[in-house]
Structures are given as C-alpha cells and as structure tokens.
Structure 1
Amino acid sequence: MRQNPSFAMTDVSELRRVIADNPWATLVGRDADGMTASHYAILLDPDRDDLTVVGHVGRPDDLVIGLGQPEQELLLIFQGPHGYISPGWYGDLPAVPTWNYIALHLSGVPEILDTEENLRVLEHLVDHFENRFPSPRGIWTAPNDEGFVRRLEAGTVGFRLTPTRVVAKRKLSQNKPDDVVENVILELSRDEAHPQPALVAEMRRAHDARMAAKAARR
C-alpha cells in the first residue's frame, strides 16, 4: 500500500482501536503455487498492549498460505469504514471522485501455537463475539463437550503474530480545507441512498484531531 504522510496512521492506540473494531481480516501468504488470501476473524492478543494479534485458520488453509514455514511472512489486512466521495461535495473547486478509507497492513513471521494455547485463543475468540448476546454460549458450553472441542481444535492451526512491519493509512480528506471536510461530513451524514455512519464517525474523529493539533500550535 503506497503511503502518503498526510494520511499515515502511527498512533498505536488508534491502530489497536481500528483492529478491535474491525476484526474480520484478510490473510495473505504463499505456497509453491504463489500468493493466496484467506479470511478470518483476528483479535488483539489480550496479554499484550502492542499490535500483536492472535487467530487461527482451518486446515488446510495453513498449507496454502505457508503458515508455519520457516521465515515465511504473513500479511494481515484490516479494513475500516470506507466509502465513495463525490466531487460535488467539494464545492466550486476542480475535483474528481475518490474513496475515503482506513486500512492497516501488519506483516511478520507468525508463531504457531501449541494445542493448549490454541484452545485458549479459540475460547477468547468465541467469548469476544458471544458476550454481546443476552445469553452467550462459550466454546465449552453444553452440548459441546471436551472431546468435541478438542476435535474442533485439531482441525485448526492457531498463531500469534507480532508485526515487524506496519503500514497504516487513514485517507479521510485530511488534505482538503477545513470547510470542505466539514461539508463532506455533512453530505455523508445526509446521504440516505448510501448511509455511512461509521465513515462519518471516523472522519469526524480525524478532523477533530487535526483541529485540536492546529489549536495547540497557536
């Protein structure tokens, strides 16, 4: 992903927030036949405060993305809110259509988890998503029994990845004048045909941060 200093994301807390809010990731690796992409839910490692993530793939996806091969890197792509931006929203200025978005690329050599650690990651994954429901079901909840869960685990490969390369981009009209950004936010907010509340929230967050930085420099 080509980086632009105006759009670079470097704040680890913000990167963690985006990952936590958008856990459905694209995993890109390679085997003897070339590049392959798979798609899985990936979570921040609950025992770390950096960008280390944990997840799993189902067999044989581990083979087709080269998971566990010595020195074989894995690329994880997290995509935040995104949407079309009309040139008509820029006012009386020369402009072309564009797309606003947030994207994070984490690269590194993953660590393969043993059985017990993989079970803990699977349990964490289930709890993470089930806890939003009134009556959550954990991985060990009946009718699941230990034998069933362990057979399930045997069909997966768990991993932990601490990225050695991070490329993160938040392209949210930061290169436009303040009044133009405000108008884009307004137009997105009232676009009933293609509502983008999550993108509006991210644009407002980025714009408010930019305005606060400007005020601090005065």
Structure 2
Amino acid sequence: MYIPAHFAESRVDLLHGAIRRNGFATVISMTADGLVASHAPLMLDPDPAPYGTLIGHLAKANPHARAADPSVQTLAVFRGPDGYITPSYYAAKQEHGKVVPTWNYAAIHAYGRLEVFDDPDRLLAVVTRLTDLHEAKRAQPWAVADAPADFVQGMLRGIIGIALPIARLEGKVKMSQNRPAADQRGTIDGLRLDGEPALAEAVGRAVSG
C-alpha cells in the first residue's frame, strides 16, 4: 500500500483497536487460477506478538481457503471511515482557489500465510467467540448454545476455519493531515453539516495527533 509519511499509522495498539472496531475484512489470496477474494468477519488474537493472529471461517463450499497458495502471503484488508472531500470546505478556496477534491479514508492491511482448519471443537470455539463478541452489546445476547447441539454440529460441517498469523501490518489514515489548520477545521465543520459525523470525528482525531 502506498503510504505517504503524513498518512502513516504504525502504532500497533491503534491498528489493533481499529481492526477490533471494524471486525469485517476482505481476504485476498493468490491461487493457481489467480487472485481470489472473500469477505468475512475476523477476530483478532494478540498472539503471537507483536501483530497477533486473525481468526474466522468461510463456507466449506468456498474454494478460497484450500486453494490459497501457501508460498504467497494472504492479505486481509480492513476499512475505516471514508468519504468525498469537496474543496468548498477549505478556507484556501476563498483565499486563492488553488484547491481540488480528494477522498479521505482509513485502511489497514494485514499480511500472513493463511492457515486452514476443520477440527470440530476448534470451529465451535471460533463461532462461539465470534458470536459472543458481536452479541455482547445486546440486552439479551443470543448464544450458540441456544441452538440445538445437533443443529450446530451440522452447521459446523458446512464451514472451514481460517487463521492468519500477521507477519506485516500497515496502516494508512488519510484524513486531511496535509492541509492547513483552517482547511482542517473547515473540513470537520463541513462534514458535520453534510451529515457525515463519523468521518468528521475521524478527521478530528487524525489532525489532533
């Protein structure tokens, strides 16, 4: 990923936090037939340090996991807030007019060798953890154990587990850090007025350090 210095984010704790908040990745692997991509919820284990391991599952009918070339790293991409930035937000538009549109966004790339597993106990642990993770905010969380055990075992036979020990982790946060302070303030205010509070908050965090 092309990362100019002022957009680079290398702090592992912040990247891990963003991965956990997002939780959904595009997983891209090289196969004998070329590149293949799948989309899956992934959870992050902190081990092994420093980058940890991404864990999830795909449908067993999906050829991705078994076809991935083990000699080539797989890439998992997580996206953060993104959106169009109009030059009309900038104070510089009124001052000299030498401004152009851009797109603000955040992205994390995690690279590693894809591992595959189909052990039923390990798969059950993965789906249980994923479910508990995403149900935790509900007043009455649903649990895997709420479903009949034989039904759950049948569902497990339809999936394959994936693990991606992260060998390299890259972060890019392009949120107007390269603009003058007046343009940054104008971007934050303009995004809020345009109904983009999440992106406005992301710009605010990025430019405040």
What TM-score comes out, normalization by structure 1 length? Answer: 0.85
**Residue segments in structure 2 that go unaligned for 5+ positions in a row:** none
Misfit runs of 4+, over 4 Å: 46-49, 65-69
1: CA distance, partners of 2:170 / 2:208: 23
Q: Which position in structure 2 is the counterpart of 1:160? A: 163
Deviation at 1:73, TM superposition (A): 2.4
| Native 8 Å contact 1:76 1:106 kept in 2 | yes
Paired residue secondary structure (1:83): strand
| Native 8 Å contact 1:101 1:172 kept in 2 | yes
1:175 counterpart letter in structure 2:
N
2: CA distance, partners of 1:204 / 1:76: 26
**Residue segments in structure 1 that go unaligned for 5+ positions in a row:** 210-218
Q: Which position in structure 2 is the counterpart of 1:54? A: 55
1: CA distance, partners of 2:133 / 2:48: 16
Shift in alpha-carbon separation, 1:66–1:165, aligned structure 2, 3 A: farther
Shift in alpha-carbon separation, 1:68–1:86, aligned structure 2, 3 A: closer
Q: Which position in structure 1 is the counterpart of 2:110? A: 106
Paired residue secondary structure (1:2): coil
- My pick for the range that moved more, 64-73 or 38-47, is 64-73
Deviation at 1:65, TM superposition (A): 5.0
Q: Which position in structure 2 is the counterpart of 1:90? A: 90
Deviation at 1:51, TM superposition (A): 3.8
Q: Which position in structure 2 is the counterpart of 1:138? A: 143
Shift in alpha-carbon separation, 1:52–1:104, aligned structure 2, 3 A: same
How many pairs does the alignment contain?
203
Paired residue secondary structure (2:139): coil
1: CA distance, partners of 2:157 / 2:26: 22
The alignment yields a C-alpha RMSD, in angstroms, of: 1.9
**Percent identical:** 34
Shift in alpha-carbon separation, 1:15–1:35, aligned structure 2, 3 A: same
Q: Deviations over 1:75-97 (max 9, x none)?
A: 11100000110011122341111
